[in-house]
Amino acid sequence: MNDKTDKPIYLDYSATTPIDERVVAEMLKYMGPDATFGNPASRSHAYGWQAEAAVEQARQHIADLVGADPREIIFTSGATESDNLAIKGVAHFNKKRGQHIITCKTEHKAVLDSCRQLEREGYEVTYLDPEQNGLVDLEKLKAAMRDDTTLVSIMHVNNEIGVIQDIEAIGNACRERKIVFHVDAAQSAGKVPIDLASLPVDLMSFSAHKIYGPKGMGALYVQRKPRVRLEAQMHGGGHERGMRSGTLATHQIVGMGEAFRIANEEMATENERLITLRNQLWDGLKDMEEVYINGDFEQRVAGNLNISFNYVEGESLLMALKDLAISSGSACTSASLEPSYVLRALGRNDELAHSSIRFSMGRYTTSKDIETTIKHVRTAVEKLRELSPLWDMYKDGIDLDSIEWAAH
Amino acid sequence: MAYGEKVLDHYENPRNVGKFDQNEDNIGTGMVGAPACGDVMRLQIKVNDEGVIEDAVFKTYGCGSAIASSSLLTEWVKGKTLDEAKAIKNTELAEELALPPVKIHCSVLAEDAINAAVEDYRKKNA
C-alpha cells in the first residue's frame, strides 16, 4: 500500500495515467458558464474565436513534441480511433491500387482488429512474427512486401513488453516500395524522442491519457509532404480537413496539448529517473530463480518491466499482490483468461506466458514504492512456489516437457 | 476480478499444503491439468487399512479459485471412504466457494484430481 493514500501502489502507467494537476488547471479554463466554452468552429463571434485559438495552441504543442507541422495533426477520440482511421482510411483510399496490408502479431488490438475488419471486406493481411526479443526483423518485413501492398502498420513501443521498434529503418523500407507507413505511438509519445520532420513515417497515432492527459482524446498525424490520402471514417461537418468530423472537444484538446507540452519539457529528466527506478526494481528481483524479462532489455521504453516468474500462475500472483496495481498483460485483455498473445508471439512457452507481470512506472512512482514492491513480489512468489507442484518438479529435476499433460 | 470471501480465505490460508511419497502403497496421487492451460493440481490421499482417507495434501499451480478448490477438497475428503470421496461433485465445491461461471472449471479440475487419486490408490492396491 501507498503510505500516504492507503491505496495500492500504482504501477500500471501503461494502462493509463492520472491527469497531471497542471493539465487539469488548463482544462478547467474551458469548462463552466464563465469559461471559454465556445464552439471552435463558430466563426461569427468571440466565443468561437477564443476556443479556436485554444485548439490551435494545443495543436501546436502536440506538433512540437513530435516534430510535426500543426496542420498535420488531426484530433480524434483516442489512439484506437486514430488507428482505425489510419488503417481503414488508407486501405479504402488505395483499394484500387492494392489490397494487401502488413502488420505484426504483437500490435495493439486496435490495429489487429482493424486489419481483421479489412480481411472481412476482402483485403489480405500478413501478420509478421516478431523475433524472440519482440522486435520486427527488417528482412522478414521486406520479404513480405508485395506490389499490391498499400500499408504497413507497426507500433513504436509495445504496450505489454515496452520494446521500441526501429521505425526509421522500417519507414525507409516502406518508402523504397512506396508503401504508406503507419505507426501506433500511443505508448511512445512523450517517452521516446520522435521527430516526424526527419522520420519516414506517414501516419502516427497518439493518445492523451497515456501521458497524463485526459481519456477520450487522441490525435492522428497525417503527413502533408508528400500528402498522405485517406478516406474519412466519420462523416459530418467536415472538421479536421474533412478527415474527422465532429465538434472539437476544446477542453479535452487543451488537456492533451498541455500534457504534450509538459512531456516535451520534462521527458529527458523524467526518463533518467524512470530508468533508475526500473533498474532498482530489476536489481531487487533478478537474483530470484527462474525469473525472466520479456522483451529486449536495451531497446525498451524507460518505465516498463515485464517479467515472467516461472512456475507461478499470473492470476494468483496478481491476487497475492493486491497491494500493487499491476497487470498480467494489457488492460484490454485482462478480462479474458487467455495468456498474453504478445508473449505467445515471442515464442514464450505457455507457462512463461501464464506467469508474466507488467510493471509500468510513471511520473508519480517513487523509489520507496519500488522498495515496497520488491518486498511484496518476493514474498508472494515464494509463497506461491511453495504451493506449486510445478516448482516441486523443477526442484526435483523433472523436465516438465517430458510429461504428457492432459490439456483441458 | 473480485473474489468471494471463502476463496480468499482458502487462498490466504491454504489448508493441507504438502507432498506425500507417491511410491508408498497407502498413498494415492492424482495430478491433473496442464501448464499450458494455467492449472495443474496435485492431490494426494493417505488411506488406512479400513479404506478410509486419514490424511490429504495438495499443491496447485493456478488461479486463486483453483487453489481454493483443491484446498477445500483436502478438508472434505479427510475421514471419508474412497467411494464417499469419489462421490464429491464439482458443483458442491463451486457452490461452497461461490465460484463465478468462468471459474467453474477449477472445481471440475478438483473433482478430476480426487478421482485420479482414488484410481491411483486402487491400481496400486489391486
The answer to whether residues B74 and B44 touch, using CB atoms and an 8 Å cutoff, is no
User: End-to-end alpha-carbon separation of chain A, Å?
Assistant: 37
List, for chain B, all residue ranges whose pLDDT scores fall below the cut of 50. Answer: none
> What cell does A164 get?
521500441
Total H helices, total E strands in chain A: 12, 12
In this predicted complex, what is the ipTM? Answer: 0.93
Residues of chain A in contact with residue B71, where contact means CB-CB under 8 angstroms, are none
The answer to whether the Cβ–Cβ distance between B61 and A389 falls below 8 Å is yes
The confidence score (pLDDT) of residue A4 equals 65
Enumerate residues 6+ apart whose C-beta is below 8 A from B85.
Answer: B45, B53, B76, B77, B114, B118
Is B37 labeled as catalytic in the residue annotation?
Answer: yes
The answer to whether the Cβ–Cβ distance between B61 and A406 falls below 8 Å is no
The answer to whether residues B41 and B90 touch, using CB atoms and an 8 Å cutoff, is no
pLDDT tens digits along B43-62: 999 999 999 999 999 999 99
Is B106 labeled as catalytic in the residue annotation?
Answer: yes
Interatomic CA distance for residues B109 and B93, integer angstroms = 11
Interatomic CA distance for residues A368 and A1, integer angstroms = 11
Exposed e or buried b per residue across A61-71, where buried means at least 16 C-beta atoms within 10 angstroms of its C-beta: bbbebbebeee
Q: Considering the entire predicted model, what is its pTM?
A: 0.92
Nearest chain A Cα to B103, which residue? A337
Exposed e or buried b per residue across A290-322, where buried means at least 16 C-beta atoms within 10 angstroms of its C-beta: bbebbbbeeebbbbbbbbbbbbbbbbbbbbbbe
Closest listed residue to residue A13, CA positions, set A315, A278, A220: A278
Distance from CA of B106 to the nearest CA of A (A): 11
The confidence score (pLDDT) of residue A407 equals 61
A149's enclosing H/E stretch is strand A149-153
Interatomic CA distance for residues A257 and A337, integer angstroms = 37
The confidence score (pLDDT) of residue A333 equals 44
The answer to whether the Cβ–Cβ distance between B38 and A350 falls below 8 Å is yes
Mean pLDDT by groups of 10 residues along chain A of 408 residues: 80 97 98 94 96 98 98 98 98 97 97 98 98 97 98 97 97 98 98 98 98 98 95 95 96 98 98 98 97 95 95 90 84 56 88 90 98 97 96 91 75
Distance from CA of A341 to the nearest CA of B (A): 13
Judged on CB neighbours under 10 Å (0-12, 13-18, 19+), A283 is exposed
| Sign, CA torsion A271/A274/A278/A284 | positive
Q: Is the peptide bond before A33 cis (omega within 30 degrees of 0)?
A: no
